[in-house]
Amino acid sequence: MAISKDLKRSFLFCFILLWLSGGAMLGVGIWFTVDSDITDARIVTAITHPAKLEYCGYFLIAGGGALVLFSIIGFLAVAYSARALLGFLSFLIICALVLPLVCGAFALWYRDAWTTTGKDELMANLTISYKNVTFQKAMENYQTKWRCCGVQSSGDYTSKQLPVPSSCCKTTALPCPEAYTDGCYGAMEKWVTQYTLILTGVGLGFGCGLVGIISLVVFVAACCLVSRSY
């Protein structure tokens, strides 16, 4: 038995919103994963905390991509009145919402964990970590962009018998005649707070908000259609 026109319109409306929401999540996830400015700060903060914030980007990419794909399949299921497929698809959509929820919860936990121990761990690891070429390049890019030096000040380098890098200098002359006085920890802490709030808002907002409500409606309606067919 075919699905009524009114019910089709309702399903199509839900799938359009899911498609748009999934696309938004996918876009945020890709942006957070590939943006060069974000990558430098992410590398620096990851040195002091093994749990990588980039996982949130992967969760959003996976969840958003799944919602986009399921929505497209949903359009076809509605067009061909595939009731059983709609029921199964609605279940998959509910499962896909777990990923942005995990991202939101992880971002909240990461912010608390990093702000609690970030400064001490970054200071303790500065000597060892600075020998890591990837970390060194990211740190220097970060210092150049934010016009800061070290964790608390340029003295963090000299106290560990490390040369003050050129990225700390107010001029290009070496040896560095005058370094930036502000340490980078304040900017790092602000970065962690800002971006974890964005990830939390996107993850929990889409997971618990509009997408969750629409998915629940689709799931209940699909179950009703399946039960009527037997």
93-104 confidence digits (pLDDT tens): 878 888 888 988
Strand partners, 47: none
pLDDT of 126 over the 60 cut: yes
The dihedral formed by the CA atoms of 222, 226, 229 and 230, expressed in degrees to the nearest 10: -160
Q: What is the pTM of this model?
A: 0.74
Measured distance CA(34)–CA(32) in Å, rounded: 6
List Cα–Cα distances, 211 to 8, 16, 37, 100, 122, in angstroms: 18, 11, 30, 11, 39
pLDDT of 224 over the 70 cut: no
**Mean per-residue pLDDT for 217-223?**
63
Measured distance CA(173)–CA(191) in Å, rounded: 29
Instruction: Kindly state the tokens that stand for 163.
Output: 């040369």
**Mean per-residue pLDDT for 66-78?**
87
Measured distance CA(145)–CA(192) in Å, rounded: 16
**Mean per-residue pLDDT for 111-138?**
74
Measured distance CA(25)–CA(21) in Å, rounded: 6
**What is the radius of gyration, based on Cα positions, of the chain?**
24
- Give start and end residues of each alpha helix (H) in 97-160: 98-129, 133-146, 155-158
Burial class, 44, CB count within 10 angstroms (exposed 0-12 / middle 13-18 / buried 19+): buried
State the pLDDT confidence band at 10, using cuts at 50, 70 and 90: confident
Percent of the chain with pLDDT over 90: 7
Query: pLDDT tens, 153-196?
Result: 888 888 877 778 888 888 766 677 788 888 888 888 888 888 88
List Cα–Cα distances, 112 to 55, 59, 66, 119, 203, in angstroms: 16, 20, 29, 13, 17
Measured distance CA(8)–CA(83) in Å, rounded: 11
Signed CA dihedral, 178, 182, 185, 190: sign only = negative
pLDDT of 106 over the 80 cut: yes
Query: For residues 94 and 202, which has the higher predicted lDDT (pLDDT)?
Result: 202
